[in-house]
Each structure stands twice: as C-alpha cells, then as structure tokens.
C-alpha cells in the first residue's frame, strides 16, 4: 500500500478533533500536515505517495484552487474533501451535522479510492491517445517504404521473371494495404474512446447519402438493389461516428448478402429512441455467429480471429448512448440495427481536459466479415 499524506486546511475547533480521529481511523500510518491555505500545502510529494486534501468551510477561490491543482504528471494532484461549504460540484462535501469520525473515515477512504481510479482512467486515456497517434502516423512511414520497394521491384522485373516473384511482390502490396486498413480502423476507435466528441444535430439523410456515394462502386459490382425511406429524421449524434456505423452495416450486407442482394435501409421511432436498420434477404445467421456479431471492442483480445467492423459499430453506438443488435424477421429478412436516444447523449460525457489535442476520427473504413475472418 502506498503511503498517504493528509493535508488539513483551515480546520476549526469544531471540526479538528473529528477530522483527526477520522484520518487515523481511515489511514493509521498517514502523515498528517495542518496548513492555513491551499497554497501552503507545498509541492506534490513523491510519485509513490497518495495525497488527501481536507478543507473546512472553503470559499469559492479555495475550493477552485484545490480542485484544479495538478501533480507533476499533469493529473489531479490529490483527493479532495470539503467540510461544509457549497462545493459539491467540484469535490465530496460533508455538512457539519455529519462530522462524525466513522462517517468521515469512510468518506476519506472513498475519496482517495475515487481519486486513484480517476487518475488511472486518465492514464489509460493518455495511453489510448498515444497509441492512436503512433499507430496512425509513425507506422505509415515503414509501410510506405515497403510499398515503394514493392513497386520498384514490380517495374524492375523483366518479362521473363519468374511468376512466383511477381506473386510475392503482389503479396507485399496486398499485405501493406490490409495493415493500413487495420491501422485506420483501430486508431479511429481509440481516438473515439479517448476523446469522445460532443453530439450535435445531424441530418441523417446527409450521412446516409454520403455513405451510399462512397459505396456506389461496391453496390454496382455486386448488383445490389438498395431501397431507403422517402425521408430521414434529424437526430442528435456525432456525424463521423454515424458515417462509420452506416458504412460498416451496409458494407457487411454487400459482402454477405449473396448475389444481387436486396437491401432496405430504414428507421422508426421506438419510445424515446430512434431505431435505424439495414435489412437484407440473405440466409439466416447461425446462432453461434450471432453471439459474436457485436462483441464489445474491449473483448476482442479474447477471440482467436475476431472481426472489427461490428465491434467498432458497438463501441460508437454505445458512446452515443444507444444500442445495436441483430434479429431475424418472420418474413425471412435479416436486420442489423442501432438506436440513438432522442436527447443529447453527450450530456453524460465527462472528462478531465488537460489541453490534449482533439483527435477527430477519419471515416476511412475497411471490411467486416460476419464469421470473424478479418484480422
């Protein structure tokens, strides 16, 4: 257990005895320091130390200074508990009638634990941002070198070159293309998870039209017939995420809907949500495959050969407060659907902003194979 330092700021005679007793009860080996102001707390302790700041009847300036203090690594410096005052929006606040050692001890332990979880969450978000940036930038350089080398080999091969050599060069190019698609998709979902974008009003008709334009060559290639409603609603969501969701769902049907698939795009109000769907008359999906279709992205490491597309859909829909799934209708149609809440899903998004750059996702997508064959 890491050692803890408890800083007591401006304790009154009425609160001091209860706070000291609670501090000893919560953390028997704690170092306790009493100071007059938040500024007098001094620099942060060693990285392996935990800190709890307890303020008595703080004014707005003191409460703000305590809540906004950061450590050497840029994360919130300490757990904060306010005794009295009106600061429940920035820290745990305990009214005077509850200044009893047993209750305060529980509050102190809870505040420290919440602070540890908060800092760990921020570190993981930072890891996601770092991975997303390094994947989407640094890896493109060596991939580009491999592609360039493959192209040089291709143009340098004489007509009499072995057919197998030409096949190897083609494999280089195909493999690099697949790696690039995986990089795009993984970095996309990492950026979305680490830096959720605020929802806004979206004309769904424009999103669907953009996806259909991009997939027009695929639609023509497989001879698909795509029908859609005469009008689409305006919803609250994140436009680039919705683009990715529609792309994956429609691409999924184009790949697995059989020859000349008939596809129906649709929507309907269901209580307080809007439900959007992509349906086709393809064959039924086996139950063991249905159970894997929308596997959460954070569980893909447990699968031997998972696909990415529908897991990305699952994450992006969840980030907007919706749900997604698959069902087989009685008329033989297979339906992939997702929902969006009528209200602003972004109201539930809370994050500690340390000035990190906004990494806007790029709607560049690859393929999804329902059976999990895509890496």
Domains of the chain: which residue ranges?
Answer: 4-125, 139-194, 198-348
Fold matches, 4-125 and 198-348: no
DSSP-based three-state secondary structure for 31: strand
Please list the pLDDT of the chain residue by residue as tens digits (375 residues).
Answer: 678 999 999 888 878 999 999 999 999 989 999 988 888 887 776 666 789 999 988 888 888 888 888 887 778 899 999 988 766 667 888 888 889 999 999 999 999 999 999 888 888 888 887 777 777 777 777 888 888 888 787 777 766 666 667 777 778 888 888 888 888 888 888 888 888 888 989 999 999 999 999 999 999 999 999 999 999 999 999 999 999 999 999 998 898 877 888 999 999 998 888 999 999 987 667 776 777 777 777 776 666 555 678 888 999 999 998 999 988 887 778 899 999 987 543 333 333 333 332 223 323 323 222 233 332
CATH topology of domain 4-125: Rossmann fold (3.40.50)
- Angle between helix 163-194 and 140-156 (nearest 10): 160
2, 47 in Cβ contact below 8 A? no
Q: What is the DSSP letter of 345?
A: G
> Please, what's the largest Cα pairwise distance for the chain?
96
C-alpha–C-alpha distance, residues 364 and 184, integer Å: 7
Cβ partners under 8 Å of residue 242, min gap 6: 202, 204, 207, 316
Specify the CATH number for 198-348; select among 3.40.50.970, 3.30.1130.10, 3.30.930.10, 3.30.565.10. Answer: 3.30.565.10
297, 313 in Cβ contact below 8 A? no
Beta strands 273-280 and 324-328: pairing type?
unpaired
Q: SS in 3 state form for 163-186? A: HHHHHHHHHHHHHHHHHHHHHHHH
Q: Name which of 364, 314, 46 is nearest 211 in CA terms.
A: 364
């Amino acid at each position: 257990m890491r050692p803890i330092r408890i800083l007591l700021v401006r304790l009154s005679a009425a609160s001091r005895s209860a706070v000291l007793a609670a501090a000893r009860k919560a953390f028997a080996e704690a170092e306790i320091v009493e100071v007059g102001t938040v500024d007098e707390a001094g620099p942060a302790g060693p990285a392996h130390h935990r800190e709890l700041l307890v303020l008595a009847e703080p004014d707005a300036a003191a409460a703000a200074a305590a809540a906004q203090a950061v450590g050497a690594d840029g994360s919130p410096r300490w757990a904060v508990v306010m005794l009295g005052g009106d600061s429940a929006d920035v820290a745990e606040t305990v009214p005077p009638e509850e200044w009893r050692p047993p209750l305060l001890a529980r509050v102190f332990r809870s505040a420290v634990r919440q602070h540890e979880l908060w800092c760990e969450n921020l570190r993981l978000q930072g890891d996601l941002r770092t991975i997303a940036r390094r994947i989407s930038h640094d890896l493109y350089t060596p991939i580009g070198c491999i592609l360039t080398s493959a192209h040089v080999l291709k143009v340098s091969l004489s007509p009499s070159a072995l057919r197998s050599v030409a096949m190897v060069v083609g494999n280089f190019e195909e493999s690099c293309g697949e790696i690039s698609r995986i990089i795009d998709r993984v970095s996309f979902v990492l950026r979305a998870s680490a830096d959720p974008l605020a929802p806004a009003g979206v004309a769904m008709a424009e999103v669907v039209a953009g996806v259909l334009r991009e997939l027009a060559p695929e639609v023509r290639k497989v001879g698909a017939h795509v029908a859609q409603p005469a009008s689409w609603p305006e919803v609250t969501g994140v436009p680039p995420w919705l683009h990715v969701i529609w792309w994956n769902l429609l691409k999924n049907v184009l790949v697995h809907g059989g020859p000349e698939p008939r596809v129906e795009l649709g929507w309907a109000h269901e209580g307080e949500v809007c439900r959007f769907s992509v349906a086709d008359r393809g064959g039924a999906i086996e139950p063991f495959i249905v159970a894997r279709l929308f596997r959460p992205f954070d569980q893909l490491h447990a699968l031997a050969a998972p696909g990415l597309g529908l897991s990305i859909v699952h994450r992006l829909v969840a980030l907007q407060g919706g749900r997604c799934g698959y069902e087989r209708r009685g008329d033989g149609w297979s339906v992939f659907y997702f929902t969006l809440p009528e209200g602003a899903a972004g109201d539930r998004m809370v994050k500690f902003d340390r000035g990190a750059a906004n990494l806007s996702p790029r709607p560049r997508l690859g393929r999804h194979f329902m059976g999990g064959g895509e890496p």
